[in-house]
Amino acid sequence: MPASPIRKLAPLAEAAKARGTRVLHLNIGQPDIETPSCIRDRLHQLESKVLEYSPSTGTPEFIRSLRHYYERRIGVTLETSQLLATTGGSEAILFAFLACANEGDEVLVIEPFYANYRAFATMAGLKVVPVTTRGGDGFHLPPNEVFARALTPRTRIVIVCNPNNPTGTVYSREELERVAAFCREHGLFLVSDEVYREFVYDGARAVSALELEGVDDLVIVVDSLSKRYSACGIRLGALVTRNTEVYDACLRMAQGRLSPPGVAQFIAVGAESLGDDYTRGVVDEYQHRRDVLYEGLRAIPGVFLHKPEGAFYCIARLPVEDAEHFAAWLLTSFEHEGATVMLAPANGFYASELGRSEVRIAYVLKEEDLRRALDVLRVALERYRER
Ligand SMILES: Cc1ncc(COP(=O)(O)O)c(C=O)c1O
């Protein structure tokens, strides 16, 4: 099991904090935006004397709220029997991998990729095979010939993350249709991780795989409340599929693990009262942070990045040979006016040897902290080169 590249420098960060250094976290997607009060307030309405298991599929109220959400947000009508409540999007990814492939099979991942895909693939006994995207192309999808070169008789799944963590890329409908056609042609499942669906900037919209035509039997959508409602600790997500066999396989796993968290589902239905203005406000805030980060990083000599189109991450190439060494050095040997920054080295987001000079940056800090972090990073890069 690989170590998480997002968390593996955590002991160094703890040591820096113990020395009294302020650590500005650019390494992890833990938003600082408040969870809406209509969700938090539900906690006080909980009257159950027994905190029982919920149905393995999720409570009827929560599943109903998910159906309303898909209807409103992407205009698709889903049956109750096409939705499974999961313990975060994380469990949905694991269920999808376990349901759609056998041990020793292969999953094509768009590289750089959300590092935990490798962890879930390892748990499911699957091999991760990268299909590389490049910063110069804005990390958009390569032509299908490139996907075809990665195919073997053991390939079963393509997983895409849209909007993308870690690149911030939002794929166009045409790109998604191309991948879907590839999956159709080669008999592969398409797992679409859409946990950042709302987070798209400059007035654009992320197309859901649920909107694609002719691939109902291939598509499994992974969803989560973590980012949508700034509620990572609620540990609630969903798996959506119109393929009844995949659904049944996932349902058996869901029954085996008994139940998704019941209290979480009770409070999550509070989100029903949120209007579009909530999402708009949050997205505007992230777009502003994206702009601050993008302009700030571009102004640092030697830093290259593609302007993120969605989610709240970017991959930035730094003027260093080994970004992991630099990230560790930031925590062990550097501070500027009492602060340092924590970065996620990007090599852990690649299955190939690429990404050594790159870091993934999450812009989940408020503007003031983000500006401070940019200042610290600029000074750190100067100092690191002077060593
Ligand atoms: C791309 C992606 N998928 C899935 C997840 C899992 O989210 P959760 O288990 O909190 O729902 C994350 C969390 O950061 C993510 O970035």
Tell whether ligand 1 has an atom less than 6 A from the beta carbon of residue 224.
Answer: yes
Q: How far does residue 295's CA lie from ligand 1's centre (Å)? A: 27
Distance separating alpha carbons of residues 240 and 128, to the nearest angstrom: 22
Averaged pLDDT, 234-249: 98
Residue 4 lies in a domain: no
Distance separating alpha carbons of residues 173 and 275, to the nearest angstrom: 26
Determine the residue of 94, 117, 159, 195 to mutate for testing ligand 1's pocket, defined as the one with the most ligand atoms within 8 A of the Cβ atom. 195
Determine the residue of 199, 220, 222, 227 to mutate for testing ligand 1's pocket, defined as the one with the most ligand atoms within 8 A of the Cβ atom. 227
Averaged pLDDT, 325-352: 96
Residues 48 and 20 in one domain: no
- Percentage of the chain beyond pLDDT 70 is 100
Averaged pLDDT, 371-383: 98
Short-list 242, 245, 251, 198, CA closest to 221: 242
Domain-terminating residue out of 223, 244, 273: 273
Short-list 3, 70, 44, 54, CA closest to 260: 54
pLDDT band per the 50, 70, 90 thresholds, residue 251: very high
Token digits of residue 264 = 């979480």
- Percentage of the chain beyond pLDDT 90 is 96
Q: Is 168 in contact with 314 (CB distance < 8 Å)?
A: yes
Residues 175 and 160 in one domain: yes
CATH number assigned to the domain comprising residue 17: 3.90.1150.10
Which amino acid would we find at residue 210? L
Q: Is 42 in contact with 266 (CB distance < 8 Å)?
A: yes
Kindly tell me the burial class for residue 356, based on how many C-beta atoms sit within 10 Å of its own C-beta (0-12, 13-18, 19 or more): middle
Q: Is 343 in contact with 323 (CB distance < 8 Å)?
A: yes
Residue 221 lies in a domain: yes
Mean of the per-residue pLDDT values of the chain? 96
Distance separating alpha carbons of residues 199 and 180, to the nearest angstrom: 22
Residues 25 and 129 in one domain: no
Q: How far does residue 226's CA lie from ligand 1's centre (Å)? A: 7
Tokens 């250094």, located at residue: 21
Token digits of residue 206 = 């992320």
Residue 343 lies in a domain: yes
Residues 216 and 247 in one domain: yes
Tell whether ligand 1 has an atom less than 6 A from the beta carbon of residue 35.
Answer: no
Residues 26 and 118 in one domain: no
Q: What are the backbone angles phi and psi of residue 316, rounded to the nearest 5°?
A: -120, 135
Kind and range of the H or E run holding 40: helix 37-40
Q: Is 14 in contact with 8 (CB distance < 8 Å)?
A: no
Residue 337 lies in a domain: yes
Which amino acid would we find at residue 99? A
Position 8 scores a pLDDT of 81
First to last CA, the chain: 35
Residues 129 and 98 in one domain: yes
Tell whether ligand 1 has an atom less than 6 A from the beta carbon of residue 195.
Answer: yes
Q: How far does residue 228's CA lie from ligand 1's centre (Å)? A: 11
Residue 45 lies in a domain: yes
Report in angstroms the alpha-carbon separations of 285 from 13, 258, 301, 367, 381.
27, 38, 27, 9, 28
Position 253 scores a pLDDT of 98
Number of structural domains, the chain?
2
Averaged pLDDT, 114-121: 96
Distance separating alpha carbons of residues 219 and 79, to the nearest angstrom: 15
Residues 347 and 231 in one domain: no
Q: Is 219 in contact with 242 (CB distance < 8 Å)?
A: yes
Residue 3 lies in a domain: no
Pairing type for strands 219-224 and 237-241 reads antiparallel
Residues 213 and 309 in one domain: no
pLDDT band per the 50, 70, 90 thresholds, residue 3: confident
Domain interval for residue 309:
10-34+277-386
Tell whether ligand 1 has an atom less than 6 A from the beta carbon of residue 161.
Answer: yes
Determine the residue of 164, 222, 226 to mutate for testing ligand 1's pocket, defined as the one with the most ligand atoms within 8 A of the Cβ atom. 226
Distance separating alpha carbons of residues 65 and 269, to the nearest angstrom: 6
Domain-terminating residue out of 224, 247, 273: 273
Which amino acid would we find at residue 328? A
Helices 323-332 and 367-386 pack at an angle, to 10 degrees, of 110
Domain-terminating residue out of 273, 297, 328: 273
Residue 5 lies in a domain: no
Q: How far does residue 359's CA lie from ligand 1's centre (Å)? A: 18
Residue 1 lies in a domain: no
Residues 291 and 268 in one domain: no
Residues 144 and 249 in one domain: yes
Q: How far does residue 163's CA lie from ligand 1's centre (Å)? A: 12
Q: Is 253 in contact with 59 (CB distance < 8 Å)?
A: no
Residues 312 and 244 in one domain: no
Please give the torsion angle defined by the CA atoms of residues 253, 159, 79 and 268, in that order, rounded to the nearest 10 degrees. 80
- With a cut of 90, say whether residue 5 has pLDDT above it: no
CATH number assigned to the domain comprising residue 91: 3.40.640.10
Averaged pLDDT, 77-81: 98
- With a cut of 80, say whether residue 7 has pLDDT above it: no
Tell whether ligand 1 has an atom less than 6 A from the beta carbon of residue 192.
Answer: no
